[in-house]
A and B are shown apart, each in its own frame.
Chain A
């Protein structure tokens, strides 16, 4: 049987197929924006060609299809969501603008247009109702207002109504009554308390709005895909990857499409965690360098962090998401010179169209890829296995006119400056991510993926004092590989906001039991049984008087373990320790407060193992491909550099820098002073001396 994992990206749909012998095949097909299922079926076509069977035969033999998609995220970023309306607590029409919790991007640019709210004011309808912070009903819901609102929504051709009332996280009753009424006209109504049970009205509204606005797109995608798969005799289960790095059934994703938003970069860290455990790396930093962004996640003790403040375009997805920081640096990042004649790279990107100058698609701005091509890092005749020939002359022309001349540099020095500056920007991004979490990057192994990642990984590592770099052979399908490892996973929240003195064990146990019940129900609905279920209790905590929380999770347990005095003590102890780690101080004498109880419910899918290759010789000469001129600053310029064919490298091969490994989907640059070992999984371990 096969498992097929697909990652529907903005430009390409990547897929991997894993068979019973754990062999991995890769496929790539252009993404079709109107009908993303076409990209998926395209990859399936490729697989069937590789395996010498028809797509139907292939799919008959597939038991699981895991889909990661950036489609909903892109819908938000590109502002192409559905027409939504908002039913709000009367008196609070303007929470979309007034409650905004993202500071202005450029304080000193008054000509920056404001963020667009999805829902114009005329589609916001007041509902008389009010619930107090403690859940008590102050003003009962006026059903007539709901009926009136829906009538107006129909008149204006609204596709998705969204209901977000104050304090619905603590008492969702009014939202639910309104939902009952609305469902008769709009079965797809979105209730904020069903999207997430967290306080802070704008965060909840923002999440409900993004969920609502992508709902029709997600629905079409799921239905289309279902149809295509059924037509081709697929009888297995379909799962979607979620923003917390888990998987969920299509039905659950349709109920709560916010689960899908930001799911794209969430799978990379899963692969990082898996590799960390496989290779006994204690701490890893996972980076994925694509065309436009550079995604960073820190995994101390091979643990993936989560955040309830993931930014998506102009909004926040407040559903717990894998803590990934994205900075505007990638192969397509544009180099430019500011008013003061100082060189800058990014955050603007040439994207895939027109793309870097060397793509010959009309791009005239010099990009990182252009610089990498001029410096010889990326072979102009072997980009994507030679399918896209790169034009070095165009790259030179762009760098010459836009950077070298104004800065009075020669083209090569200018190209090196672009490449080195983007490396420093990425290193700074990693550094800030690390220090914000109280970590020192030197204690980490850098796991690098994405098409452009392996080109720059070693240079970035050297800027951070990191000595070990690990690059999976399938670096270019990083996220698809990661998604194959995902478990079912959800986080349930309950806002209680109490200080230590107000906490009582009985009450806490009751709350956690109710969360557990809900978690088990969600998992069992998707066919999971108790033996495959793990739970992790946690809380958002602060010192009493502080205004922001730290998220704490205790180790995973099986279901049914009672909450005791010791569990509470462990939570509090964990809080002091984490506070110390992040901020450099803690004070066990100070009172602690819990704002939100959390339960992480995990449904384990199945263990994954990779095939190990028998060891071969140290000598890599069997994979030697050619010698090219490549620029290394520390060697004084261009030097003849040996290049190796990635497909001929064998476990145990050792390559000393300077050298290049050429792969159809990426290039690994090994500078002088670094050495690359091919490990038994055919992945690359680079050490700097």
Chain B
């Protein structure tokens, strides 16, 4: 491996450590103080640092949905503003899906150029989900708007702060078009302050090591990462691998929407080519712009690489991503894209996982349960907001309904770790504060027996979630209580297994009103009445390997703990228990049953081939 001639090993280690720390610091500053539910409780954050050549140098360990791929937004935003118009202490914001190409309306992307001695050295980047961005409802997760204008305010890249001066005219136009403007204003300004504070560390780093050394270190970090990744890929089998995954529907027309991938692995070059050009034409609501697509690809690839591989430009140089203009993965004006991350963004990850599952099956996980996360929003006319003197708004998307992670060779899926693009960087919200804030009481939040995909290693569990509306019937009006499921998908498609592992259960959800079922599906909006029960039963992650090979002790443990029924243990895992014992495995009978079931499986396989 080549070593830099000009930079010593100690300096390189120190500089990389500090750049990474700076990225973490920025996120910590923000989620502790912000007003946005998504940022504070779910950690719906992305941070990145680019060098002046717009290469990704470091990415913070925040929600994967927001991280890699921000170079697409940086370029789009700089193209729009003009690189010649960038000055010290500028603070640029944007969310226009056709320029920024990443995030739905509430995801504001922020850039600050970092100057040293009057010279541009870095671009500092941050994206967070704001309290609101206008549109029909708070949070953008409602389908069926006519076009992108219905999804909220579209902000083309603009300097919210110009050379340190707040651009109040622009700010006032933005704030007038959104709810909770004082909170969004505060969050924007504290993003600015937090970025600025953490940039001081960059400046000090440059001061103590010199600009050239720091930039040289960045070069070295990127190059070494690229070499390492290419070396890994050089051991992967050459070929083209196909995958296709679909969303249930786009909320408008009731038919599946497909993402299609042809992955070409070129070991001799150490390059991966992701060709998504066969994906469907753009539809409504669930379209996924290029930046989001890239984030999904990089995340899924990173998971099949050695765990500590940095997600910087070096990794990205090894990936070629092709999309077709006007398709669901590169939508054009005036397409809507409110559900981009939880729907097609997720299915991009799924396609990459299915494809890599053919390339490196032992280093790729089975699919995760898709995102399902009914949002509860509305106004509480029982509480007057001290700031606006009008009824207090509430909005929550607690991530409670989500299923879990898929299994990976050697490991069961992690129970409760939700949604592939949150991946444990995001968390489920605590129930007790939710009940203080919203007019709902939680009835249930538990794993569901037999919901996971089966395998030698099983998927993580699906989750049963139920809440009851407690709004005062006497004063209730339709808009006081709204449920939106525009961030949910997976009633028609479960999480696929791998290497003989099976699929997790499909999601189900609904409303019970006065004892009767009322339909609530994914990508939907409904008014909720006092006494209504909203419920969901998510599926679990996919399994890996043949369930008949699962360690009988693990099967027993799952049965004891009611993750698995006795029936399924017998039928799928071929495990039998002795009557009158505390689930003592009948080893002899189990061996015989497993043998029989395997023979039967082989028989079915043969007949299918014929």
A→B interface (CB under 8 Å)? 91-95, 97-101, 103-104, 106-114, 120-122, 130, 132-133, 138, 166-167, 169, 199-203, 338-344, 407-409, 416-417, 420-421, 424-425, 428, 431-432, 435-436, 497, 499-501, 543-548, 579, 582-585, 587, 590-591
- Report which of B25, B35, B417, B444 forms a contact with A543, defined as CB distance below 8 A: B35
What CA separation (Å) do A591 and B392 show in the bound complex? 13
Chain A residues whose CB sits within 8 angstroms of the CB of B405 once the complex forms: 110
With most chain A CB atoms within 10 A of its CB, the pick from B12, B227, B308, B431 is: B431
Chain A residues whose CB sits within 8 angstroms of the CB of B428 once the complex forms: 98-100
Report if B589 contacts A (CB, 8 A). Answer: no
Report if B306 contacts A (CB, 8 A). Answer: yes
Query: 9 A-B residue contacts at CB 8 Å?
Result: A112-B307, A121-B562, A121-B563, A133-B432, A167-B432, A341-B224, A436-B28, A436-B29, A583-B194
B435, A133: Cβ atoms closer than 8 Å: yes
Q: Which residue from chain A places its CB closest to the CB of B31 in the assembled complex?
A: A548
Chain A residues whose CB sits within 8 angstroms of the CB of B308 once the complex forms: 108-109, 338-339
* Cβ of B80 to closest chain A Cβ, rounded Å: 29
Given A110-B408, A339-B306: A409 touches B427 (CB 8 Å cut-off)? no
* Cβ of B341 to closest chain A Cβ, rounded Å: 16
A132, B441: Cβ atoms closer than 8 Å: yes
Chain A residues whose CB sits within 8 angstroms of the CB of B400 once the complex forms: 98
Give B383-399 as 1s and 0s: 1 = Cβ < 8 Å from A's Cβ atoms: 01011000000000000
B441, A138: Cβ atoms closer than 8 Å: yes
| 9 pairs of A and B residues whose beta carbons are closest in the complex | A104-B424, A109-B307, A547-B40, A121-B561, A97-B416, A340-B224, A91-B444, A417-B10, A133-B435
Report if B333 contacts A (CB, 8 A). Answer: no
What CA separation (Å) do A496 and B157 show in the bound complex? 42
B446, A93: Cβ atoms closer than 8 Å: yes
* Cβ of B48 to closest chain A Cβ, rounded Å: 15
Report if B321 contacts A (CB, 8 A). Answer: no
Given A339-B308, A543-B35: A497 touches B561 (CB 8 Å cut-off)? no
Report if B604 contacts A (CB, 8 A). Answer: no
What CA separation (Å) do A180 and B32 show in the bound complex? 40
Report if B146 contacts A (CB, 8 A). Answer: no
Task: Pick the interface stretch among B182-190, B473-481, B523-531.
Answer: B182-190
B432, A199: Cβ atoms closer than 8 Å: yes
Given A91-B443, A104-B423, A108-B303: A547 touches B21 (CB 8 Å cut-off)? no
Chain A residues whose CB sits within 8 angstroms of the CB of B14 once the complex forms: 420-421, 424
With most chain A CB atoms within 10 A of its CB, the pick from B201, B427, B562 is: B427
B431, A99: Cβ atoms closer than 8 Å: yes
Q: Which residue from chain B places its CB closest to the CB of A198 in the assembled complex?
A: B432
How many residues of B are in contact with the other chain, CB < 8 A? 90
Which residues of B428-466 have CB atoms within 8 Å of chain A's CB atoms? 428, 430-433, 435-436, 441-447, 463, 466
Report if B601 contacts A (CB, 8 A). Answer: no
With most chain A CB atoms within 10 A of its CB, the pick from B40, B194, B433 is: B433
Chain B residues whose CB sits within 8 angstroms of the CB of A114 once the complex forms: 414-415, 417
Give 19 A-B pairs besides A133-B435, A340-B1 with Cβ atoms closer than 8 angstroms.
A91-B442, A100-B427, A101-B427, A103-B424, A107-B424, A108-B308, A110-B405, A111-B410, A167-B432, A339-B306, A340-B227, A341-B224, A428-B18, A435-B25, A436-B28, A547-B41, A582-B33, A583-B33, A585-B189
Chain B residues whose CB sits within 8 angstroms of the CB of A138 once the complex forms: 441
Report if B193 contacts A (CB, 8 A). Answer: yes
* Cβ of A258 to closest chain B Cβ, rounded Å: 19
Chain A residues whose CB sits within 8 angstroms of the CB of B64 once the complex forms: 107
Give B73-107 as 1s and 0s: 1 = Cβ < 8 Å from A's Cβ atoms: 00000000000000000000000000000000000
B307, A108: Cβ atoms closer than 8 Å: yes
Given A103-B424, A579-B33: A591 touches B387 (CB 8 Å cut-off)? yes
B417, A104: Cβ atoms closer than 8 Å: yes
Chain A residues whose CB sits within 8 angstroms of the CB of B197 once the complex forms: 435, 584
Chain A residues whose CB sits within 8 angstroms of the CB of B182 once the complex forms: 590
A544, B387: Cβ atoms closer than 8 Å: yes
Chain B residues whose CB sits within 8 angstroms of the CB of A587 once the complex forms: 186
B10, A339: Cβ atoms closer than 8 Å: no
Chain B residues whose CB sits within 8 angstroms of the CB of A132 once the complex forms: 435, 441
B193, A343: Cβ atoms closer than 8 Å: no
Q: Which residue from chain A places its CB closest to the CB of B560 in the assembled complex?
A: A122
What CA separation (Å) do A545 and B64 show in the bound complex? 26
Q: Which residue from chain B places its CB closest to the CB of A339 in the assembled complex?
A: B228
B25, A432: Cβ atoms closer than 8 Å: yes
B433, A98: Cβ atoms closer than 8 Å: no
Report if B6 contacts A (CB, 8 A). Answer: no
Chain A residues whose CB sits within 8 angstroms of the CB of B303 once the complex forms: 108, 110
Chain B residues whose CB sits within 8 angstroms of the CB of A425 once the complex forms: 17
* Cβ of B219 to closest chain A Cβ, rounded Å: 13
Chain A residues whose CB sits within 8 angstroms of the CB of B414 once the complex forms: 104, 114
Report if B320 contacts A (CB, 8 A). Answer: no
Given A104-B423, A584-B197: A501 touches B386 (CB 8 Å cut-off)? yes
A103, B427: Cβ atoms closer than 8 Å: yes
B→A interface (CB under 8 Å)? 1, 3, 8-10, 12-14, 16-18, 21, 24-25, 28-29, 31-35, 37, 40-41, 43, 61, 64, 131, 180, 182-183, 186, 189-190, 193-194, 197-198, 201, 221, 224-225, 227-228, 302-303, 306-309, 311, 365, 384, 386-387, 400, 405, 408, 410-411, 414-417, 423-428, 430-433, 435-436, 441-447, 463, 466, 557, 560-563
B436, A101: Cβ atoms closer than 8 Å: no
What CA separation (Å) do A501 and B383 show in the bound complex? 11
Chain A residues whose CB sits within 8 angstroms of the CB of B21 once the complex forms: 428, 431-432
What CA separation (Å) do A576 and B142 show in the bound complex? 37
B13, A344: Cβ atoms closer than 8 Å: yes
* Cβ of A558 to closest chain B Cβ, rounded Å: 34
Chain A residues whose CB sits within 8 angstroms of the CB of B18 once the complex forms: 428
- Report which of B40, B387, B427, B447 forms a contact with A548, defined as CB distance below 8 A: B40
Chain A residues whose CB sits within 8 angstroms of the CB of B33 once the complex forms: 546, 548, 579, 582-583
- Report which of B9, B365, B423 forms a contact with A409, defined as CB distance below 8 A: B9
- Report which of B24, B41, B180, B189 forms a contact with A545, defined as CB distance below 8 A: B180
* Cβ of B153 to closest chain A Cβ, rounded Å: 20
* Cβ of A586 to closest chain B Cβ, rounded Å: 10
A166, B1: Cβ atoms closer than 8 Å: no
With most chain A CB atoms within 10 A of its CB, the pick from B9, B189, B201, B442 is: B9
* Cβ of B223 to closest chain A Cβ, rounded Å: 9
B417, A94: Cβ atoms closer than 8 Å: no
Chain A residues whose CB sits within 8 angstroms of the CB of B201 once the complex forms: 431, 435
A201, B431: Cβ atoms closer than 8 Å: yes
What CA separation (Å) do A99 and B446 show in the bound complex? 10
Q: Which residue from chain B places its CB closest to the CB of A101 in the assembled complex?
A: B427
A424, B432: Cβ atoms closer than 8 Å: no
* Cβ of B531 to closest chain A Cβ, rounded Å: 14
What CA separation (Å) do A342 and B384 show in the bound complex? 57
Q: Which residue from chain A places its CB closest to the CB of B310 in the assembled complex?
A: A340
* Cβ of B445 to closest chain A Cβ, rounded Å: 6
* Cβ of B402 to closest chain A Cβ, rounded Å: 9
B307, A585: Cβ atoms closer than 8 Å: no
B423, A107: Cβ atoms closer than 8 Å: yes
What CA separation (Å) do A331 and B31 show in the bound complex? 34
* Cβ of A589 to closest chain B Cβ, rounded Å: 9
* Cβ of B335 to closest chain A Cβ, rounded Å: 30
A545, B35: Cβ atoms closer than 8 Å: yes
A111, B307: Cβ atoms closer than 8 Å: yes
Q: Which residue from chain A places its CB closest to the CB of B393 in the assembled complex?
A: A545
With most chain A CB atoms within 10 A of its CB, the pick from B13, B29, B557 is: B13
Given A107-B61, A132-B441: A342 touches B424 (CB 8 Å cut-off)? no
B408, A111: Cβ atoms closer than 8 Å: yes
* Cβ of A139 to closest chain B Cβ, rounded Å: 11
Chain A residues whose CB sits within 8 angstroms of the CB of B1 once the complex forms: 340-341
Q: Which residue from chain B places its CB closest to the CB of A501 in the assembled complex?
A: B386
What CA separation (Å) do A408 and B9 show in the bound complex? 10
A133, B436: Cβ atoms closer than 8 Å: yes
Chain B residues whose CB sits within 8 angstroms of the CB of A342 once the complex forms: 9, 12-13, 16, 221, 224
* Cβ of A231 to closest chain B Cβ, rounded Å: 43
